[in-house]
Amino acid sequence: VPVSPEWLSRQALQLPVPGFSEGMERLASARLRVVGAGAMAAPALLTLSRAGFTRIWVEDDAPCDEPNGWLGEHPGLSRAAAACQVLSSYSSLLEVERYPAGGVPTATLVCVNSSAAATAMAEQARRAGVPHVVMEPRGDGGTVVSVPPGAPCYVCSRTPSMESWPLSPLCAPLACIAAVEVFLAVLNPHPRAGRRVELSGGGLTYLPTVRRAACACGQPVRR
Ligand SMILES: [Zn+2]
């Protein structure tokens, strides 16, 4: 595991705890890809940048033009570039970079506001064998869909009849749930079932995902 002396000294107290060091090393050696750096993604990015990851790839080409947004206004910079500056400043142990074209992450979190864009990102991750998590906000809560390799794909598992997801007051807790789901995907890479986490009425419901009949995701991926 490519960990620095600084990382080792930071984790010195925890590493001797049985079972702890393995997880810390998984987080430290992971490359986490986050698609989206706008208001919807902000709570997830802020959570994940403090979660023990050392490398986060951010992807969002939209201009960074909201003076009162979480990134502030940066003329000429994309949201991804501004997020890299803001999040990298939190810790010398954390490198936040723009997603390098063709880079294969350990896991992907998708925080975009349209079903079509989320589906395209999820399908790219599935074909690369990368566990991925998609958040789908709604006015009264929303859903986080978790797709480990081999599980029913996002198309099988997504919420039907939703084309776009506007920001809502419950986006922030939903994004934190999405952050936890992708954190668990890296921490526990053993084969797991896919699931939908529903945030509704102030509570969470966990539902297994089910493969749709004849969906191509039942076939082995050819790479
Ligand atoms: Zn499928």
Calculate ∠ Cα 76-81-86, nearest 5°.
115
Answer whether residue 98 shows pLDDT above 80.
Answer: yes
- Residue 200: strand pairing partners: 141, 203
Q: What is the pLDDT of residue 79?
A: 97
110 falls in which pLDDT band (50, 70, 90)? Answer: very high
In angstroms, the Cα distances linking 222 to 126, 130, 170, 216 are: 11, 14, 38, 12
For residue 89, report the phi and psi dihedrals to the nearest 5 degrees.
-75, -10
Q: pLDDT tens digits, residue range 176-199?
A: 999 999 999 999 877 789 999 999
Global pTM reads 0.92
Spatial distance between the Cα atoms of 88 and 146, rounded to a whole number of angstroms: 27
Q: pLDDT tens digits, residue range 31-40?
A: 999 999 999 9
Q: What is the pLDDT of residue 166?
A: 85
81 falls in which pLDDT band (50, 70, 90)? Answer: very high
99 Cα to the center of ligand 1, angstroms = 26
196 Cα to the center of ligand 1, angstroms = 14
Spatial distance between the Cα atoms of 113 and 99, rounded to a whole number of angstroms: 19
Spatial distance between the Cα atoms of 174 and 176, rounded to a whole number of angstroms: 5
131 Cα to the center of ligand 1, angstroms = 14
Q: pLDDT tens digits, residue range 17-34?
A: 777 788 888 999 999 999
Sign of CA dihedral 97, 99, 102, 107: positive
Q: What's the average model confidence in pLDDT over 63-67?
A: 92
18 Cα to the center of ligand 1, angstroms = 38
